[in-house]
């Protein structure tokens, strides 16, 4: 799949497409220019010259010298072919010594030319030969027989062959090659420069987070042709924000509406006789109340309503452990608390951190198995650890369990929001939460929070001053 994506990106590369289009356009423009420019040239040459000068090469190739040093026609197959196609075709060739060779019906005017022929390099004659082919040309030509002066008429006319010779001219082909190479080298640089704004736009998009609503992309750095795309993306982000806002309002309203009937139900169940059914109902009510509180906590975190103040982790963790101890003991578990220092201060929201620790202890009660030993510990480095002696969490699930509604083992209670809420709270406090293996077996969840060193030292000093002697 990754290879296919890379191939797709190459196939849709703007840089490649622009380079290819630029090269093809330049080649076509040059060829069209050569054709258009050659038409008047062909017209002028045709009117003045009449005969295609390339016939001189054919004539020269057929002339050789014999043993006596005279000129003679040797390979005349092509010349006969031309004569059959052009009955008026003829030529006269001579060297500097006056030795000559000819072919075809020579006109009478040819008798006056040989004396001055070797003094001419190139010339066009308009009134020689028959009325059907009056135009003739004189060309000086280097051949295997030496330097020759060739006078010819009645052969192929100037036409498309000259056009093709102009198009395939080495100068024009070299210019095409130069423009092609320059386009291949320059166009990617131009495209890269023009697309810098697109890259900055992509960097902005990478920073968009679901917890930071109201973020929009800026169109100022991209070409105007992409402004409509930026507006469409911003409109989509606005619709997502509105949807998230409606979801948050719904969760908050639902949680608030649930708390009242849950509280009424809790009061009525408390009035029932103290038996096993009442205990089970009280446990179910506690779970419902916990779910409503979790929904409220999620809404409060998403709307950034947390207030950071100095929090003593030791005091907070001891209080939460004490509050959760009856629930753990009622489930048949043992619970203990330990701290490496008397005071460990962090900056955070007391209610949120209490909720995170409560959820971890509830998770240990729910998944630690029967008669589990739950240990809550506070480290001097700002860590909170909750461990149990249950089956633990397999390594492949250790990231997924922090996703909402994810469960490794299906249960008949809970909504799968507890660990998600823990992670959101810890993230908001710039901390980390991980799960691993407990030293004695089972799972150990660890929260690491940044310390508030000055606040911790001051609180510890005050506590020592007020401690009884």
HEC-encoded secondary structure of 63-100: EEECCCCCEEECCCHHHHHHHHHCCCCEEEEECCCCCE
Residue 416, burial from CB neighbour count under 10 angstroms (0-12, 13-18, 19+): middle
Rounded to an integer, what distance in angstroms lies between the CA atom of residue 42 and that of residue 162?
A: 7
Residue 406 pLDDT exceeds 60? no
Q: Which tops the pLDDT comparison, 321 or 46?
A: 321
463 CA to centre of own chain? 58
Question: Whose CA is closest to 148, among 138, 157, 158?
Answer: 138
> Rounded to the nearest 5°, which phi and psi values hold at 106?
-70, 140
Total length of the chain: 469
Question: Whose CA is closest to 34, among 158, 159, 171, 184?
Answer: 171
Task: Give residue-wise pLDDT tens across range 287-343.
Answer: 777 777 766 766 666 655 567 889 999 999 999 999 889 888 888 889 999 999 999
Antiparallel, parallel or unpaired: β 373-378 and 334-339: parallel
Rounded to an integer, what distance in angstroms lies between the CA atom of residue 469 and that of residue 460?
A: 16
User: Got the DSSP string for 258-282?
Assistant: HHHHHHHHHHHHHTS-SSHHHHHHH
55 CA to centre of own chain? 59
Average pLDDT along the chain: 77
Residue 446 pLDDT exceeds 90? yes
CB 345 within 8 A of CB 309: no
Provide the CB-side half-sphere exposure for 1 (13 A, CA): 0
Residue 3 pLDDT exceeds 60? no
Q: State what percent of residues in the chain have pLDDT above 90.
A: 12
Looking at residue 4, what is its pLDDT? 43
Looking at residue 319, what is its pLDDT? 94
Rounded to an integer, what distance in angstroms lies between the CA atom of residue 188 and that of residue 186?
A: 6
State if pTM tops 0.85: no
Residue 375 pLDDT exceeds 80? yes
CB atoms within 10 A of CB 123: 14
Task: Give residue-wise pLDDT tens across range 134-145.
Answer: 778 888 989 888
Question: Whose CA is closest to 50, among 88, 80, 18, 102?
Answer: 88
DSSP 8-state class, residue 353 = H
Task: Give residue-wise pLDDT tens across range 236-285.
Answer: 888 888 887 787 777 667 766 777 788 888 888 888 888 888 877 887 78
CA dihedral in degrees (319, 320, 322, 323; nearest 10)? 120
pLDDT range class, residue 445, cuts 50, 70, 90: very high
Q: What is the mean pLDDT of residues 156-182?
A: 67
Looking at residue 468, what is its pLDDT? 45
CB atoms within 10 A of CB 270: 12
């Amino acid at each position: 799949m990754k290879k296919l994506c890379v191939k797709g990106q190459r196939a849709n590369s703007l840089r490649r497409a622009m380079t290819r289009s630029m090269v093809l356009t330049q080649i076509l423009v040059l060829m069209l220019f050569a054709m258009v420019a050659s038409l008047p040239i062909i017209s002028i040459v045709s009117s003045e010259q009449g005969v295609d000068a390339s016939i001189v090469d054919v004539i020269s190739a057929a002339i050789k010298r014999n043993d006596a040093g005279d000129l003679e026609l040797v390979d005349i197959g092509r010349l006969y072919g031309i004569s059959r196609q052009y009955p008026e075709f003829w030529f006269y060739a001579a060297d500097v010594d006056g030795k000559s060779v000819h072919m075809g019906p020579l006109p009478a005017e040819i008798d006056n030319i040989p004396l001055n022929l070797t003094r001419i390099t190139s010339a066009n004659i308009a009134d020689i030969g028959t009325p059907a082919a009056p135009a003739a040309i004189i060309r000086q030509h280097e051949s295997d027989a030496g330097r020759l002066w060739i006078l010819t008429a009645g052969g192929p006319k100037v036409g498309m062959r000259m056009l093709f010779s102009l198009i395939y001219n080495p100068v024009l082909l070299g210019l095409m090659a130069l423009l092609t190479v320059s386009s291949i080298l320059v166009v990617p640089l131009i495209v890269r420069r023009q697309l810098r704004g697109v890259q900055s736009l992509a960097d902005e998009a990478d920073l968009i987070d679901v917890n930071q609503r109201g973020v929009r992309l800026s169109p100022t750095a991209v070409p105007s042709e992409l402004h409509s795309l930026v507006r469409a993306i911003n409109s989509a982000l606005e619709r997502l924000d509105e949807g998230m806002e409606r979801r948050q309002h719904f969760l908050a309203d639902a949680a608030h509406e649930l708390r009242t009937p849950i509280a009424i139900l809790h009061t009525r169940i408390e009035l029932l006789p103290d038996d096993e059914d009442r205990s089970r109902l009280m446990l179910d009510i506690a779970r419902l109340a916990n779910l409503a509180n979790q929904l409220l906590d999620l809404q409060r975190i998403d709307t950034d309503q947390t207030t950071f103040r100095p929090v003593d982790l030791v005091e907070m963790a001891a209080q939460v452990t004490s509050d959760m101890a009856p629930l753990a003991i009622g489930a048949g578990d043992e619970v203990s608390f330990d701290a490496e220092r008397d005071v460990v201060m962090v900056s955070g929201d007391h209610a949120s951190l209490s909720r995170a620790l409560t959820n971890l202890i509830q998770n240990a009660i729910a998944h630690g198995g029967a008669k589990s030993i739950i240990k809550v510990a506070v480290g001097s480095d700002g860590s909170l650890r909750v461990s149990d002696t249950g089956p633990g969490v397999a390594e492949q699930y250790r990231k997924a369990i922090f996703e909402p509604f994810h469960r490794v083992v299906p249960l008949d209670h809970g909504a799968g929001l507890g660990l998600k809420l823990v992670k959101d709270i810890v993230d908001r406090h710039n901390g980390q939460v991980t799960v691993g293996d407990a030293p004695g077996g089972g799972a150990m969840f660890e929260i690491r929070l940044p310390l508030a060193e000055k606040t911790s030292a001051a609180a510890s000093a005050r506590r020592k001053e007020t401690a009884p002697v």
